[in-house]
Amino acid sequence: MPTSETPARPAPSGILLVDKPGGVTSHDVVARARRALGTRKIGHAGTLDPMATGLLILGVGPATRLLTFIVGLDKTYEATIRLGVSTDSDDADGVETARADATALGAIAPAAIDAGIAALRGETSQVPSTVSAIKVGGRRAYDLARAGEEVELRARTVTVSRFEVTGRRADAEAIDLDVVVDCSSGTYIRALARDLGAALGVGGHLTALRRTRIGPFEVADALHEITPDAVLLDAASVAAAVLGAFPVSAEEARDLRHGKRLAGAAARLDAGTAAIDPEGRLVGIVERRGADVKSAMNMAEDAS
């Protein structure tokens, strides 16, 4: 007796832009995506704290290999800094550790705030927040801190290209600053709040944080809900947006996939390193080897 079978749905592969809500972890969002898309091979490019909202980039299936090229991109955040109150996590999820009196707050002139912010722009040395995901001796700093252990994190060089105040509110207990920050990957906005408050002598912490951009990707294009029919960005378009396109012929694509070098092709790398074949598929990410070009990372032909 003949039977009809529904064709198996191809395994999903691509990049998904998600607008993470507050109150959930980045891992929670990944878990939701795994359930909705029916695959466990999903990762993300850059954690957002539970308090934070905004752009979270997920890699699905073979396209998770592109996350390593996305995680280091510069980012934009919108945040609210509260001056006058310090917490042990440098954000509103922590326990209050100090509070400035009204006299000290009232003595802070707007010009002093502007000068403090200006000092935090450019390339600076920043000590990450103690309650962070950085590993110390194989353990997360926030786990050590919550266990009552002493945590010392090394300063790291970060670049803050934009740090602007878009709104100010003040009362006897605190000064709230709405800010926009453009920064390099690895910059802690919580640490900017902490350091600004320390420079002004009144302490500070973050009360709101929203990531609005990662490299060329904007939160305005992100999904609020992940459904089984969610449209994924294809690997080729994402790689080209991040790394620039390196068009190759069908023969060159075949050679790259087979591990061969493209002799004398290095001069063409100025435009980008994402090798795209004539059918618009991502062959892989290439690199210069002398005058030649070779593949540094290949995508499976049926997943690109």
**CATH number of the domain residue 99 falls in:** 3.30.2350.10
Residue 224, domain member (yes or no) = no
Share of the chain above pLDDT 70, in %: 89
Among 210, 211, 193, which Cα is nearest to 202's? 193
pLDDT at 190 over 60: yes
| Residue 209 and residue 153 in contact, taking contact as beta carbons nearer than 8 Å | no
The mean pLDDT of 155-159, rounded to a whole number, is: 93
On whether both 43 and 103 belong to a single domain, the answer is no
Domain span holding position 240 = 235-303
**Is 143 noted as a catalytic residue in this protein?**
no
On whether both 194 and 95 belong to a single domain, the answer is yes
Alpha helix (H) residue ranges in 22-180:
26-37, 67-70, 102-106, 110-119, 141-146
The mean pLDDT of 275-279, rounded to a whole number, is: 97
Tell me how far apart the alpha carbons of residues 39 and 243 are, in angstroms, rounded to a whole number: 27
On whether both 32 and 124 belong to a single domain, the answer is no
> What is this structure's pTM?
0.90
Residue 220, domain member (yes or no) = no
Tell me how far apart the alpha carbons of residues 63 and 264 are, in angstroms, rounded to a whole number: 29
| Tokens at 206, concatenated | 């973050």
Angle at 268 between CA 263 and CA 272, to 5 degrees: 120
The mean pLDDT of 176-186, rounded to a whole number, is: 97
**How many CB atoms neighbour CB 140 within 10 A?**
15
In this prediction, residue 270 carries a pLDDT of 86
On whether both 145 and 111 belong to a single domain, the answer is yes
> What is the three-state SS of 259-295?
CCCECCCHHHHHHCCEEECCCCCEEEEEEEECCEEEE
On whether both 209 and 113 belong to a single domain, the answer is yes
How does DSSP assign 201-250, residue by residue?
Answer: TS-EEEEEEEEEEETTEEGGGSBSS--TTPPPBPHHHHHHHHH-EEE--H
| Tokens at 156, concatenated | 């790291």
In this prediction, residue 128 carries a pLDDT of 86
On whether both 121 and 202 belong to a single domain, the answer is yes
Tell me how far apart the alpha carbons of residues 75 and 187 are, in angstroms, rounded to a whole number: 9
Which of 19, 28, 49, 88 does the annotation list as catalytic?
49
Residue 1, domain member (yes or no) = no
The mean pLDDT of 248-256, rounded to a whole number, is: 97
The mean pLDDT of 120-134, rounded to a whole number, is: 82
| Chain mean pLDDT for the chain | 91
**CATH number of the domain residue 259 falls in:** 2.30.130.10
| Tokens at 264, concatenated | 């004398």
The mean pLDDT of 54-78, rounded to a whole number, is: 97
Domain count, the chain: 3
- Going by the DSSP 8-state scheme, the letter that residue 184 receives in this structure is -
